[in-house]
Amino acid sequence: MMNKFLIILVINLGMVATVLAGEISGELKCRGVRDCSDVVVYIDKINEDVEVPKEHVVMNQKNLKFIPHVLPIVVGTTVDYLNSDDVLHNVFSPDKCAEKFNLGTWSKGETRSYTYNDIDCGAVMLCNVHPEMEAWILVLQNKYFYKTDRDGKYVIKDVPQGKYELKVWHEKIKGKSQEVEITSDETVIVNFKLKR
Ligand SMILES: [Cu+2]
């Protein structure tokens, strides 16, 4: 009798876990740029405790480029800027939401770090040694985001039930945010059109 009860309990818990989260996916159409890469699709705000990530995220400086070019992070994340080149690099940001930081100049194998505490910050990264170097950090409220490749497809998994505003960010082109509601474990399709 006891065993039977336990089995039913386990089955029920399993069902609850699968019903609570769904998936958002879709495709972007991008006009005015070469392709649909480096667009961040994200849930604007979500009512759940946001864990401050303990793991640092690395932005590499290699072959006179920032890698990745666009880096979405959860608020509170520390980014380590790693110099992988034989030349000196610097990182600074003129953006207020990144406190207009300037981390100085450092050489190969060394890192300097900065912690991002300002939500909705889209901060540009520049190097005062190499004016052509540029990258972007996007600071988000939660972990429900996706950065696209050239094909412009995205999927955001394990989204809890609820109504959300889904937004897109790109350094040059823009798209309207859309409302999305997750009511089951199914996939909700939301497509975006972006242009200048
Ligand atoms: Cu540089």
Average pLDDT, the chain: 92
The rounded distance, in Å, linking the Cα atoms of 123 and 97 is 7
What is the architecture of the domain spanning 21-48+143-196? Sandwich (2.60)
What share of the chain in percent tops pLDDT 90? Answer: 85
User: How much distance in Å is there from the Cα of 70 to the middle of ligand 1?
Assistant: 16
Confirm whether 21-48+143-196 and 50-141 share one CATH topology.
Answer: yes
Residues 138, 38: contact at Cβ < 8 Å?
no
Angle, vertex CA 28, rays to CA 185 and CA 26, nearest 5: 10
Task: Round to whole Å and give the CA distance between 8 and 23.
Answer: 27
More confident of the two residues 50 and 170: 170
* Higher pLDDT, residue 66 or 185: 66
The radius of gyration of the chain's CA atoms, rounded to the nearest angstrom, is 20
Residue 16, H or E segment: helix 2-19
- Answer left, alpha or beta for residue 62, where phi above 0 means left and psi between -120 and 50 means alpha: beta
Whether the per-residue pLDDT at 37 is higher than 90: the answer is: yes
Average pLDDT over residues 125-133: 98
Q: Confidence class of residue 17 from pLDDT cuts 50, 70 and 90?
A: very low
Quick: pLDDT tens for 86-103. Answer: 999 999 999 999 999 999
Q: Which two tokens stand for residue 133?
A: 């170097």
pLDDT of amino acid 7: 47
Is 3.40.190.10 the CATH classification of the domain at 50-141? no
The alpha carbon of 53 and the centre of ligand 1 are apart by a number of angstroms equal to 27
Cα-to-centroid distance, 129 and ligand 1 (Å): 5
Distance from residue 64's CA to the centre of ligand 1 (Å): 6
Q: What is the pLDDT of residue 48?
A: 86
How distant, in Å, are the alpha carbons of 13, 14, 88, 150 from that of 9? 6, 9, 61, 45
For the chain, domain boundaries: 21-48+143-196, 50-141
